Amino acid sequence: MNKLSYVVKNTFINMRRNPLLVIATMLAVLVSSFLVFTTLSGRAVVENNTSRWQNGVHVVIFLDDRVTTTAHKQLQDSLESYPEVRMVDYFSKAEATEEFKFLFKDQPELVQEVDFEILPSSLRVNLNDPSDYQLIIERMEGNPAVKEIRASGEAIDRLLSLTNTLVISASVFAVLIAFAAFILIINTLRLTAYAKRREIKIMKTLGASSTYIRLPFIFEAIFESLVGTSVAIGFGWGVIQYSKGSVIAESIFDITISDTYLINLTLGLILCSILFGLVASFIGIRKALNE
């Protein structure tokens, strides 16, 4: 018990020696952890949305209304015979009109101006594997019943590619800041160890074990790392809650992210921050102990 109080007391004494460095370290850990938290959460949100989109319509084939409905029916039959296709829905001009009116119900002027005759009927194709959309496009191209083909896969691919680029960029940035935080922790500990070199020497002479001498430094590194990470996680949760009620959430993205994912991410980050502090403290104090 006395040893524990010694360790705790000395952890805070050590931190009081270099308050600015301690704050800088915590801030660096905070920024790095916040980037990791928001990047991973953001990716999960995008994946949730794209997966929802991928479960919907993958290819829309707009039909040429000059061609007979028999030709449309034959096209639907031939599409349904493809093994890649799960389901094909025929969407008539009337249904297209209803959909348009629903989508633009907030803009009555637009609805009044539009000539609904130009809205084509279409076949809406759902694929077993959304990535096969290109195959369907190739097969349908040149068919006289087909006016135009649109695939959601293209947009999803672009979005995922953009998301991946953002995730990679943010991850590289997070790693760089984490590295800076790592160096800051090591430097803070080295400065403290230098200031306490006489005390460490006396402790070694008196028979204190390396672990015992190391403990206040380990506690300090873990404490700094944990505080930075915890605040970052708090901000991260706050950002997610705020985003749920934001314009983006209402118009483009459904900001849904499971609590289990967030809890796992939080626990993972906390565990990482403990390991981070441990490794940094071992490196930071190694030299002082070997002198």
Partner 1 sequence: MIKLENVSLVFQGGSVALSNVTTSISEGEFVYLIGPSGSGKSSFLKLLYKEYFATKGKIEVVDMDITSLPKWKIPVLRRKLGIVAQEPQLLEDRTTFENISFALEILGYDSREIEQKTSTLIDLVELHESVYKFPYQLSGGEQTRVSIARALASNPLLLLCDEPTGNLDPDLSTQIVTLLEKINRAGTTVLMATHDSSIVNRRKKRVLQLKDGKLLSDVDQGRYI
CB of 112 or CB of 290, closer to partner 1:
290
Task: List, in sequence order, every beta strand (DSSP E) within 21-154.
Answer: 59-63, 85-91, 122-127, 146-151
Q: Which is nearer to partner 1, 176 or 202 (CB)?
A: 202
Minimum distance, C-beta of residue 17 to partner 1, in the bound complex (Å): 11
d(CA 247, CA 202): 63
If one asks whether residue 43 binds partner 1 (CB under 8 A), the answer comes out as no
How far apart (Å, rounded) are the C-alpha atoms in residues 140 and 144? 9
Q: How far is the CB of 204 from partner 1 (least distance, A)?
A: 8
Q: How many CB atoms lie within 10 A of CB 44?
A: 17
| From 20-28, 33-41, 208-216, 258-266, span contacting partner 1 (CB under 8 A) | 208-216
Please tell me whether residue 2 binds partner 1 under the rule CB under 8 A. yes
Q: Cα–Cα distance between 111 and 134 in angstroms, integer?
A: 33
Residues 167-206, interacting with partner 1 (CB under 8 A): 198-199, 201-206
User: Burial level of 260, CB count in 10 A (0-12/13-18/19+)?
Assistant: exposed
Q: Could you tell me how many residues of this chain bind partner 1 (CB under 8 A)?
A: 17
Tokens of 256: 């849904």
Q: Is 3 in the site for partner 1 (CB under 8 A)?
A: yes
Q: Is the dihedral of CA 206, 211, 217, 223 positive or negative?
A: negative
CB of residue 284 to partner 1, shortest distance in Å: 20
Helix, strand counts (H, E) of the chain = 11, 4
Query: CA 168: distance to chain centroid?
Result: 10
Question: Which member of 68, 209, 241, 246 binds partner 1 (CB under 8 A)?
Answer: 209
Could you tell me the smallest distance in angstroms from the CB atom of residue 218 to partner 1?
Answer: 17
112 vs 205 by CB, closer to partner 1 = 205
Q: Which is nearer to partner 1, 117 or 291 (CB)?
A: 291
Residues contributing to the site for partner 1 (CB under 8 A): 1-3, 6, 198-199, 201-210, 212
